[in-house]
Amino acid sequence: MRWSRKDLVGIRELSAEEITFVLDTAAAFKQVGTRDVKKVPALRGKTLVNFFVEPSTRTRTSFELAAKRLSADVINISATTSSLTKGETLKDTAKILEANHADIIVLRHSSAGAPQFLAERLRASVINAGDGAHEHPTQALLDLYTIRERRGSIAGLHVAIVGDILFSRVARSNIFALLKLGARVTLVGPSTLVPRVFERLGVTVSHCIDEVLPTVDVVHLLRVQHERQRKEYFPGIGEYIRLFGLTKARAKLLKADCLIMHPGPINRGVEIDSDLADGVQSVILAQVTNGLAVRMAVLYLCGGIASR
Amino acid sequence: MSATVIRNGRIIDPANGRDEIADLLIIDGLIAALPQLSTLNSQPDEIDAGNLIVAPGLIDIHVHLREPGFGWKETIESGARAAAAGGFTTIVCMPNTSPVADSPSTIAWIKDRAAAAACVHVLPTGAISKNLAGEELAPIGSLAQAGVVAITDDGHCVQNSELMRRAVEYARMVGVPVLDHCQDYNLVGHGVVHEGYWSTLLGLPGWPAAGEEAIVARNILLAELCDHRIHCQHISSAGSVRLLREARGRGVRISGEACPHHIALTHEAIQNFDTNYKMNPPLRSQADVDALIAGIADGTLDILASDHAPHAKFEKEVEFDRAPFGIVGLETELGLFLDLLVHKRKAIDLPRLIEMFTTIPAELLKLKAGTLATGAAADVTLIDPNLEWTVDANAFETLSSNTPFHGWNLKGRAVRTIVGGRTVWRL
């Protein structure tokens, strides 16, 4: 197939074929990372702006590295260093970036829909690096890449996503991506954070992790926000661990080849036992490595369209 | 002496039980008895109203004119022109201005501006609480003396039910009704769209229907407790309709209004994060839309209003959750209601539609408007119920253009608006 999108704002609008195409492209770029010279000239002369209105280290670094390996020039802008703090609108800030000939804008923003808002208004490529509780498409792509790498394919697998689904963009992008590629998805967590309405997206909702764990091929754990941020949603970390934490005892319920995934940053001892995070079933570090390849693929594909 | 005769229109005047093809005579700004035509010593102006409805001037009891304080969104002058272009001769403006309309001096300012600049009647409301803060009562008696037609904290909602109770009791004493924007702040939180399928899919904070229904239920209880009229603004949910239907069936002094956008659109419209679909209360599900229309059909919701809420383009063109709520409505309202309620859904007939825009709001606010009785002010709206037209936001009279209806094809609209015998707008 031929890639035709200048932007990546979400997984929801991608076809299964497009998702697979990104993953296949990422496989080629992953090989680049194993070379002595980890750099290709694909985006030489292009300027990429990492525009992070919401704080992030992991995703921003990954995009920056990916861009540099593609030979793009990279600048980083955070909320505190941008004019947004002086009352400039998002649209104006982005127009300024474009007037400075930015070719690709990677946006992290606390408002759902912000990347689409920019994508509709700019000639530059807009890549969503996480918007509110909406989508985090490159995270889902790297998760799928990691699953596919270990299990050969996605179709037919049963994946549990555990934790704070309601506020999670990682969960939404993963749900869309996994379903499109033929996986079965079960969401697990407290009823306040995993309301039944999610079933209308085509997934199963469970509030009993012990029933789900023996049946899954992948368990994807989400970071649990602290009580301070979610005090109306669950009684506390202690109770969360008791009901939903992936403890050593619970891990015994897993199939031997079940993958344990986490988008990070991890709360060791909360959503996942510390030893399990580092154990043989964990692919958490592989996710990070694959994130680089997936982001190179996304920047290469979308950046190539925008420059036409 | 000036005289105008409107020929051959279908006069629909619910206040006087009329629905007939006839001529309507206006002399010196007042409705006159037709036999007086023969006593005129000069030829009257003639307006041909063949195939048109001749209705009492329509009333919209829920508009935001933004002055004082936000003149870049709308002014009393431009808002009044938008009203005239929509067929309205009387509009009731909300108090969420800057300063808030919570003092007699601000009410006097609004009335002065209206007298100087507005081409239709502009009637102010006053705040329930000082600065709309929901903490202490505004001087409701003084506001009533200054001429407000109702009190409301519209845009806000008094959360403290004890304070609301005292406001209703006090309003009863001074003889003004209470209009309420029904929103439980705890239940709604930061919600910006209907809590349901689309909020879940898009990760936007949900605004549950229960957040409206809890306050509707409270208002029903307070209307009973205080034996005074409370009118619930812009009802959006099936549950609210059910609560109102039950209470009105028991004779409780409670009422509700419907806005065009809540019956024309569902929350599916938000999927591209277009802020012209962001309003408060939010667009809800098809089941809610159907319940609102059923509520209009059976009289549970008996007033139609626009919640005209102008915002500048630069204010709306921002991230969805940061954009202000609301859309302009005065110039699309009648067309949408005619098209959807009368033509498409056949929920009500033309006389009922006109009643909901005239006698019923006039009764709520004790206005001497909404009638074509001899001697009444000649506020008249001519409506072509079958005229097909296309909404063009660029041609609006309002200063703002924040509408989701640009490009919609509608059937039916006002074609001439007459205030005090003078044509203030015509197509």
For residue A291, which of A301, A280, A299 has the smallest C-alpha distance?
A: A299
B292 domain residue, yes or no:
yes
Q: Please list the ranges in chain A whose pLDDT falls under 70.
A: 81-83, 85, 227-230, 307-308
Annotated catalytic residues of B are 307
Tell me which chain A residue has its CA closest to the CA of residue B199. Answer: A134
Sorted by sequence, the CB contacts under 8 Å of residue A199 that are 6+ apart come out as A205
Residue A273 vs residues A171, A228, A268, A286: alpha-carbon distances, Å: 20, 22, 6, 18
- Parallel, antiparallel or unpaired: strands A218-221 and B30-32: unpaired
Domain of B283: which CATH number? 3.20.20.140
Beta bridge partners of A268: A272
B310 domain residue, yes or no:
yes
pTM of the full structure: 0.95
Q: Which two tokens stand for residue B349?
A: 């007939």
Residue A246 is given by DSSP the state B
pLDDT digit of tens for each residue in chain B (427 aa)?
799 999 999 999 999 999 999 999 999 999 999 999 999 988 999 999 999 999 999 999 999 999 999 999 999 999 999 999 999 999 999 999 999 999 999 999 999 999 999 999 999 999 999 999 999 999 999 999 999 999 999 989 999 999 999 999 999 999 999 999 999 999 999 999 999 999 999 999 999 999 999 999 999 999 999 999 999 999 999 999 999 999 999 999 999 999 999 999 999 999 999 999 999 999 999 999 999 999 999 999 999 999 999 999 999 999 999 999 999 999 999 999 999 999 999 999 999 999 999 999 999 999 999 999 999 999 999 999 999 999 999 999 999 999 999 999 999 999 999 999 999 999 9
**Hey, what amino acid is at B285?**
S
Q: Which two tokens stand for residue A32?
A: 């680049």
- Judged by a CB distance cut-off of 8 A, whether residue A153 touches chain B is no
Give the residue ranges of DSSP H helices in B31-180: 76-86, 104-117, 140-146, 161-174
d(CA A198, CA A188): 11
| Contacts across the A-B interface (CB distance below 8 Å) | 55
- Three-state DSSP at A134 gives coil
Strands (E) in chain A, as ranges, are 47-52, 73-78, 104-109, 125-131, 158-162, 184-188, 204-206, 218-221, 259-261
Residue from A13, A111, A198 to probe the interface with B (highest B Cβ count within 10 Å):
A111
Q: Residues of B with CB below 8 A from A114's CB?
A: 319
B325 domain residue, yes or no:
yes
Question: Could B200 and A90 be called an inter-chain contact, meaning their C-beta atoms sit closer than 8 Å?
Answer: no
B47 domain residue, yes or no:
no
Identify whether the C-beta of residue B198 lies closer than 8 Å to the C-beta of residue B191. Answer: no
d(CA B195, CA B203): 10
A108 is catalytic: yes
B380 domain residue, yes or no:
no
Place of tokens 């005292």: B166
Place of tokens 């603004």: B233
Question: Could B203 and A135 be called an inter-chain contact, meaning their C-beta atoms sit closer than 8 Å?
Answer: yes
- Parallel, antiparallel or unpaired: strands B88-93 and B121-124: parallel
Counted domains in chain B? 1
**Hey, what amino acid is at B127?**
A
pLDDT for A227 equals 59
Q: Which two tokens stand for residue A8?
A: 């990546």
B2 domain residue, yes or no:
no
B150 domain residue, yes or no:
yes
Cis preceding-peptide flag for A190 (omega within 30 of 0): no
The values of phi and psi at residue B322, to 5°, are -100, -10
A86 is catalytic: yes
Q: Residues of A with CB below 8 A from B272's CB?
A: 116
The minimum CA-CA distance between A117 and chain B, rounded to whole Å, is 7
B111 domain residue, yes or no:
yes
For residue A165, which of A228, A82, A233, A112 has the smallest C-alpha distance?
A: A233
Question: Could B319 and A198 be called an inter-chain contact, meaning their C-beta atoms sit closer than 8 Å?
Answer: no
- Three-state DSSP at B303 gives strand
pLDDT for A229 equals 65
Quote the domain boundaries for residue B141: 61-365
pLDDT for A56 equals 87
> What angle do the packed helices A137-151 and A169-180 form, to 10 degrees?
50
The values of phi and psi at residue A35, to 5°, are -85, 165
Question: Could B203 and A201 be called an inter-chain contact, meaning their C-beta atoms sit closer than 8 Å?
Answer: no
Which residue in A90, A135, A197 is closest to B319 by CB distance?
A90
Q: Residues of B with CB below 8 A from A167's CB?
A: 203
pLDDT for B170 equals 98
